[in-house]
Amino acid sequence: MSDCCNRGDGSQAKKYDLIVVGGGSAGFSAAITAAEQGAQVAVIGAGTIGGTCVNVGCVPSKALIRAVESIHHANAAPMRFNGVEAGARMADWGKVIAEKDSLVSGLRQAKYADLLPLYNNIAYHEGTARLVENGVEAGGRRFTADRIVIATGTRPAVPAIPGLPDVDALDSTTALDLTELPKSMIVLGGGYIGVELAQMFSRAGVDVTLVFRSRLLPDMEPEIGAALTDYLSSEGITVLGDLAYQSAHKTAEGGTALTVLRNGVAETIVAERLLVATGRAPNVEDLGLIEAGVKQTLSGAIIVDDHMRTSVRGVYAAGDVTGRDQFVYMAAYGAKIAAKNALNGDSLRYDNSAMPAVVFSDPQVASVGFTEAQAIAAGYATRTSTLPLENVPRALAARDTRGLIKLVADGRTRKLLGAHILAPEGADSIQTAAMAIRCGLTIDDLAEMIFPYLTTVEGLKLAAQTFDRDVKRLSCCAG
């Protein structure tokens, strides 16, 4: 798609109001925001248009997760409901992948490529961009503007494990393109990517070992990580935490061996394939940031302030390349702020205090606001309540009581500070807690609010009541 949508752009000397470097979610958000204000925008994209989320991240992974969920729940149904006979198996992984690819292609076309002709003031160019004086160089051309937004995203990071480059390891991108399933797989990383992919491949029929250095989902409440560890183990996944990676090598049979150190003892794990899901690295190598004076973290992420400004006047950054809040909706949100501030005077601030986060495991993990530890570190005299899902009528009716709900409150004002849900339908419940935090509601407000019966979100009301009452002593709708 080289220069496919330029409008009146015959002169290389044309000056733009804004240059956006990056053709993914954040880049398009910044470009469209600026274009809707009447700005002349140049977008410089490298690689496949659409970026991580639609091509190799959110969309394909969640499509595959949903596909294998249908297998798991069909096989689990007879154990949950007397009188039900059901069962399912993975018949053709290649067809599942082909369907995923079709979905990705369609969304990429509809939500990215087809949008460009709708904006006469956005010019899209392909090329590797580099910051230069008064603008950007890309593809042998110079683009001039006083304001630039960098939104180049990230790629899978590769940990420094001896021997890893020699074992043909998969990452979160290449793993989603496998047309044939391996018999066994080691998944490195206990974050949300590792958890999601480990469970997905296990449910597709792969013998999975999930290994990580600390605990599962280390950024979440420890109660959630511990419970999810048990649930993954009950599905047949071998979960090994609190270890150090020592080395990797190919086996004589062509598989992969990973040596780890657990409790001071070396242990070697063998599988057909190794999948590395230990984080993301920012795409910054060719931008000329050092020469331009743009400050970065030790990992290479671009440092920005609350207005999305970098250390260089007129240069902004947004999305995963900044290293914070690596969710597509936060990338789009930050990019909007960057574009508006670049054009209108830096009045807007980035606010993630009510940012919901979701892990698409089963049960799902959903979180917003402070964890208990974060609230204490911030100086709050905290109170917490933890409600096992067996106290939520929806879970009882569904014959699936895996999970819990934990609320964190200010012990003085009783304002809700954080909500953390582990439940099969937890992702669709977290936005209620996010709105409560954004609006400054208290746990009393939640406890007194009317919630629909036999819903997972009703658990928020019950968890709020748990601060001061024993919900086991209430009838179904007595709250």
320 is annotated as contributing to ligand binding: yes
253 is annotated as contributing to ligand binding: no
194 is annotated as contributing to ligand binding: yes
| Burial readout 141-180 (b: 16 or more C-beta within 10 A, e: otherwise) | eebbbebbbbbbbbbbbeeebeebeebebbbbeebbebee
193 is annotated as contributing to ligand binding: yes
Amino acid identity, position 411: G
For residues 244 and 261, the answer to whether their CB atoms sit within 8 Å is: yes
62 is annotated as contributing to ligand binding: yes
| Integer Cα distance of 177 and 186 in angstroms | 17
Number of Cβ atoms within 10 Å of the Cβ of 120:
12
For residues 277 and 194, the answer to whether their CB atoms sit within 8 Å is: yes
For residues 129 and 148, the answer to whether their CB atoms sit within 8 Å is: no
| Integer Cα distance of 134 and 157 in angstroms | 32
245 is annotated as contributing to ligand binding: no
135 is annotated as contributing to ligand binding: no
| Integer Cα distance of 93 and 205 in angstroms | 10
Q: Which residues, 6 or more positions from 398, have their beta carbon under 8 angstroms from its beta carbon? A: 80, 424
279 is annotated as contributing to ligand binding: yes
Question: Is 10 exposed, middle or buried (CB count within 10 Å of its CB: 0-12, 13-18, 19+)?
Answer: exposed
Amino acid identity, position 222: P
Write out the binding residues for NAD(+).
Answer: 189-196, 279
Write out the binding residues for FAD.
Answer: 62, 320
Write out the binding residues.
Answer: 62, 189-196, 279, 320
